[in-house]
Every structure is written in C-alpha cells, then in structure tokens.
Chains A and B, each alone.
Chain A
Amino acid sequence: MGTTDIIDTLAGIEPGSALDAIRARRLQARENAQKSYLSLFEPIDASEFSLVERAAIALFVIGLHREPNVTAFYRAKLAAAADGARLVEVVEAEIGRGETSGPYGAYPAGPLSAENTAGLIYRVSAEGKSALGGRLAAAFEHAHLLVFRPRDAASADMKALLAAGWSTSGIVTFSQLVAFLSFQVRVVTGLRTLAAVNA
C-alpha cells in the first residue's frame, strides 16, 4: 500500500527483524489492521464524523491508556488537524480527570452481580464542555465508558449520543474508532514488550 505501517512504527519493529518475519506470516491481518486505521483516520466520507473529532477522541482514548509513545503519535495527529491544535490542552486536561483503572462496571442482575465493581463515572468538566462543544463532550463521556467499563453500556447511552447530534452511522464509526484503538494500543504494547525481551 506504500504507507508506513503504524503498528510496526509504534512497536519499533524493524524491517528484516524476527518480529517483522512473524508479522509477515499474517500478512492479511497486518494489512487490514493498517486499512482499518486508514479507513478511520483518512475516510472516504467524513460527513457524519469530522477528522478533528476523530483526532480529539483518539488522543483522549489513547491518553487514558497511559502509553507514552502511542499518545505522542495521536497528540501530533490532533495538533495537525484543522482546528485541532487549540484542543490539545483541553483534551489533555480531560485525560487527567478521566484517568483510572479498568475494566469495572455492573452485570445484569443475577449471580454475576457479586462481581460488580464500582469505579469512576467520568463527566467532562464545565471548561472542557465549553471548549469541546456538546457533541464532542458527549462523545468523550461515551468513549470513557467504552475504555473502562464497557459492560455498563446501555441503550440510554445510544439515546444520549443521538440527542447530542450524532447520527446512527456516525455512532457506528465512532464506536469502531474507540474499539479499534483499544486493539491497536494493545498490539503495539504486546509487540513492543516482546521485542524488548528479545533485544
């Protein structure tokens, strides 16, 4: 495809290394993880979900994972997006407010209720809300839910996004973005750890 492979770059996998050879044996997975990234961040149609919204949510989601390399990558992406630079500090302040450890949350009432674990229910600050706007603020609150307590998700959360101006198709892409980043940051961390053990 001619584009730099983001997972290889962020995991520090060198061409010709042992891990490069292992990844080459799963070429379809490697190429399609990259295509997933490109279809989310360089989409053919951004009308339901703008590029700056995607970059702001990505920095927020990855910042919550506290992986410095990957966070730096998405910080640069937001800073480079049209109207994005002004949001970097706002997003970083919200990351600070949202930091916690997961997964936690509640199960449907029954035997699993014994495993329910309480934790932070994050809400965007008043300053954050005025800088982000209602649509992005709702997205940040939902993204925090997806990162830390996905088992708490309820139909009411979909209604909140629709009420904040998200279309049904926009919600699908937004959910894919957060879920994809949850995958990408883990593959990067896993591969980076393996490369370090072998170095």
Chain B
Amino acid sequence: MSATVTPPVVFTQDELGWVSWIDPLPEAELTERHFNGLVDRARAKSEYFRLLVRDPEVLEARTKTDKDIFYNVADGLPRAERELAAAATSRYNGCIYCASVHARFASTYSKRREDVQRLLDEGVKADLGERWNAVVKASVALAATPIAFGPENIEELRRAGLDDAEIVDVINGASFFNWANRLMLSLGEPSK
C-alpha cells in the first residue's frame, strides 16, 4: 500500500495526499450505518474517512463537532483565525498534512498568504502581528503537555481585541486539532 509514497519533508500549503498504514473499509462494503458515520457521502472516496468509519458512531460525532467549531461563523471568531489556530497547533505538534490543509484555508480566508507561510517556515514563534501572535501563542500553550494555557493567554487575547465568545472559538479550534493531529500522524502518512 505504501510503495508509491513520497513523504513531504517541509511544511507546505500545497495539496498533499494521505496514505493509511492499516486497511480502510472497501467502498463496496459500506452500509447505511457507515454512510451515517461519514456524514458527507462523498467522504467514501477518502482513504482516511473509510478507515475512521470502522467506528461510525465516533466518526459521526467527531465530524459534527469539527463542522460546528470551524464552519459556524454566525458569530464569534472569523473563519481565518479559527484556521490559524488549527494551522498553528498542527505546526507545533508536527502534523505536516493537517498544517497544509489549514494553512491553505487560513490564507484563503485572511488573504495573508505570506504571513501564513512564515508560520510554516519559521515555526510558531514567527512574528505575525499582535492579534495573530496572541492566537498562535494561546494555541501552542493549549497543545503543550502538560497544558501550559493560563490567565496570561486570555489577557493577551483580550488585549488583541478578542471577546469571550471569540476566545472560546480559539480554545475549541486549537483543542480540536490535538484530536485531528493525533489521528492523521499515527494512522498513516502524507504523500506529495
């Protein structure tokens, strides 16, 4: 299964593939229970989701958590900064695949592609301006084990202009990528 994998060796905003190290379910074996777990039927084409759908109930709940945290932008943090929290968390944990996807989204929604690229190239200490620095720093503090997030991160986010609803979005977005990164990093590998 892994004969053709060319793993990327740097963080990038390019589109990458992902190859599973263990067997996904074959598309032909998916039942209605599995399609419910996939939430979007089109995900049956993805090796990653056909692997996770081996536990359809967990996948369904996880996918719906993910969608609300990132796509429900009726209020709270702008989408670009939720994606920045995801990209920074992925950069810090070392998930080249997740970082590529969410850096790309952060660039699309913020129109700050060069700043996003500096986060990928220089790492989480890159100077991206007060507001983005506060989001990145809070995300990194949350990703550390033991967790290093404290009142000083909240004060910094407030000084940068975030209200409590927006701070909760940073907490949710960054925390969620500690979930996503661990699946992507441990069940397979990215491919150029």
Q: 14 A-B Cβ contacts within 8 A?
A: A19-B164, A39-B61, A101-B144, A101-B145, A103-B93, A112-B10, A147-B145, A153-B185, A171-B22, A176-B52, A178-B182, A179-B182, A179-B183, A182-B182
Interface window among B105-113, B128-136, B173-181: B173-181
Asked if B151 and A196 sit within 8 Å, CB to CB, the answer is yes
Number of A-B contacts (CB under 8 A): 196
Q: Which residue of B lies closest to A177 (CB)?
A: B58
State how many residues of chain A have any CB contact under 8 Å with chain B. 70
* 4 nearest A-B pairs in the assembled complex, by CB-CB distance: A110-B9, A151-B94, A190-B171, A29-B68
A179-192 vs B, Cβ < 8 Å mask (1 yes, 0 no): 11011111101110
B119-156 vs A, Cβ < 8 Å mask (1 yes, 0 no): 00001000000000000000000111111011101110
| A65-B145, A65-B147 given; A175·B65 CB < 8 A | no
- B88 vs chain A, min Cβ distance (A): 13
- A27 vs chain B, min Cβ distance (A): 8
B23 contacts across to A, CB distance below 8 A:
168
Complex partner residue of A36 from B8, B58, B93, B175, CB under 8 angstroms: B58
- A98 vs chain B, min Cβ distance (A): 11
Asked if B58 and A186 sit within 8 Å, CB to CB, the answer is no
B152-166 vs A, Cβ < 8 Å mask (1 yes, 0 no): 011100000000110
Q: Is the interface of B mostly helix, strand, loop or mixed?
A: helix
| A102-B145, A178-B182 given; A29·B95 CB < 8 A | no
- A159 vs chain B, min Cβ distance (A): 8
Q: Is A58 an interface residue (CB 8 A)?
A: no
Of B69, B147, B180, the most chain A CB neighbours within 10 A belong to B147
- A161 vs chain B, min Cβ distance (A): 9
Q: Which residue of B lies closest to A33 (CB)?
A: B65
Q: Is A194 an interface residue (CB 8 A)?
A: yes
CA distance A158 to B11 in the complex (A): 24
Q: Which residue of B lies closest to A38 (CB)?
A: B61
Q: Which residue of B lies closest to A39 (CB)?
A: B57
| A66-B146, A103-B145, A173-B55 given; A108·B9 CB < 8 A | yes
Asked if B145 and A146 sit within 8 Å, CB to CB, the answer is no
Q: Which of B59-116 contact A (CB under 8 A)?
A: 59-62, 64-65, 67-69, 72, 74-76, 92-96
For the complex with contacts A151-B95, A175-B186, A190-B149, 8 further pairs of A-B residues with Cβ separation under 8 Å are: A23-B168, A29-B69, A39-B57, A150-B185, A151-B94, A173-B55, A191-B168, A196-B151
Q: Is A4 an interface residue (CB 8 A)?
A: no
Q: Which of B28-77 contact A (CB under 8 A)?
A: 51-52, 54-55, 57-62, 64-65, 67-69, 72, 74-76
Asked if A183 and B176 sit within 8 Å, CB to CB, the answer is yes
Complex partner residue of A107 from B51, B57, B65, B94, CB under 8 angstroms: B94
Asked if B178 and A182 sit within 8 Å, CB to CB, the answer is yes
Of B67, B96, B172, the most chain A CB neighbours within 10 A belong to B172
